[in-house]
């Protein structure tokens, strides 16, 4: 009687880690991670401060040298106000309609390392992919002029004040805005915001280019 041969493992069979990497590669998670960070003009060290992950680990994730775990993706997703589905959506599919629910949004300080934070923000378009603009709900704080840090970015910016009174300095010019006022400007000029009221000072901010 002939003995049955044991089934052989195919020569091209992948190990479990390799199989996992092969299956998630089409989703382009590394590219999506890097894109999220760069759109916010955020460095690896700054993202590390937000997430509690090391800059070295974040670099390996963005370069595809490390397969992210779900808890790791959740930490990063929270920072950028995206759902886990963002990472596992086929990039060939495009969302035409992206709804951002109020209860889904998270509020973040403009600079988590600063001792005095001039404003907090909520992303209004975090559900959208391949965004051509960036929308925020900004909450400005009353600060001394000396503590009002300026910044700049590519593109243009449109700000519509909902409530409060806001002082906006753009280059050498300073303007004051009341509820219902709006301002559009070239965001490559250094600009800063300062609330002139002790209560709420809130605006919708839309930018092109890098986020504000």
Helix 55-62 to helix 44-51 angle (10° resolution) is: 110
pTM for this model (two decimals): 0.59
Q: What is the pLDDT of residues 131-153, one digit of tens each?
A: 788 999 999 998 877 677 788 88
Instruction: Read off φ and ψ for residue 33, nearest 5 degrees.
Output: -60, -45
Region of residue 17 (left: phi > 0; alpha: psi -120 to 50; beta: else): alpha
150 domain-assigned: yes
List the domain range (segments joined by +) for residue 158: 102-207
164 domain-assigned: yes
pLDDT for the residue numbered 122: 94
Give yes or no: residues 137 and 77 share one domain.
Answer: no
Give yes or no: residues 70 and 24 share one domain.
Answer: yes
pLDDT for the residue numbered 11: 42
Give yes or no: residues 75 and 33 share one domain.
Answer: yes
pLDDT band at 94 (very low <50, low <70, confident <90, very high): low
Using alpha carbons, select from 76, 135, 75, 138 the residue that is nearest to residue 107: 138
Give yes or no: residues 65 and 127 share one domain.
Answer: no
Residue 22 sits in a domain whose CATH number is: 1.10.260.40
Among 86, 113, 134, give the residue marking a domain's end. Answer: 86
Give yes or no: residues 111 and 198 share one domain.
Answer: yes
Count of structural domains, the chain: 2
Give yes or no: residues 81 and 106 share one domain.
Answer: no
Q: Are 174 and 130 in contact (CB under 8 A)?
A: no
Residue 116 sits in a domain whose CATH number is: 2.60.120.10
Give yes or no: residues 122 and 203 share one domain.
Answer: yes
Among 58, 86, 114, give the residue marking a domain's end. Answer: 86
125 domain-assigned: yes
Give yes or no: residues 110 and 196 share one domain.
Answer: yes
User: Is 90 exceeded by the pLDDT of residue 96?
Assistant: no
Give yes or no: residues 108 and 151 share one domain.
Answer: yes
pLDDT band at 204 (very low <50, low <70, confident <90, very high): very high
pLDDT band at 8 (very low <50, low <70, confident <90, very high): very low
94 domain-assigned: no
């Amino acid at each position: 009687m002939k003995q049955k041969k044991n089934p052989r493992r195919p020569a091209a069979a992948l190990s479990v880690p390799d199989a996992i990497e092969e299956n998630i590669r089409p989703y382009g998670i590394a590219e999506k991670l890097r894109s999220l960070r760069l759109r916010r003009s955020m460095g690896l060290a700054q993202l590390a401060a937000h997430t509690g992950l090391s800059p070295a680990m974040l670099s390996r994730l963005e370069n595809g040298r490390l397969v992210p775990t779900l808890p790791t993706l959740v930490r990063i997703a929270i920072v950028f106000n995206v759902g886990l589905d963002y990472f596992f959506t086929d990039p060939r599919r495009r969302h035409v309609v992206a709804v951002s629910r109020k209860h889904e949004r998270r509020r973040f300080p403009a600079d988590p390392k600063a001792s005095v934070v001039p404003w907090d923000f909520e992303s209004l378009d975090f559900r959208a992919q391949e965004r051509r603009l960036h929308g925020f709900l900004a909450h400005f704080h009353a600060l001394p002029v000396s503590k009002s840090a300026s910044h700049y970015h590519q593109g243009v910016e449109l700000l519509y004040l909902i409530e409060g009174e806001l002082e906006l300095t753009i280059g050498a010019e300073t303007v004051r805005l009341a509820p219902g006022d709006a301002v559009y400007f070239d965001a490559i000029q250094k600009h800063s915001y300062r609330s002139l009221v002790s209560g709420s000072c809130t605006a919708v901010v839309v930018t092109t280019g890098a986020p504000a």
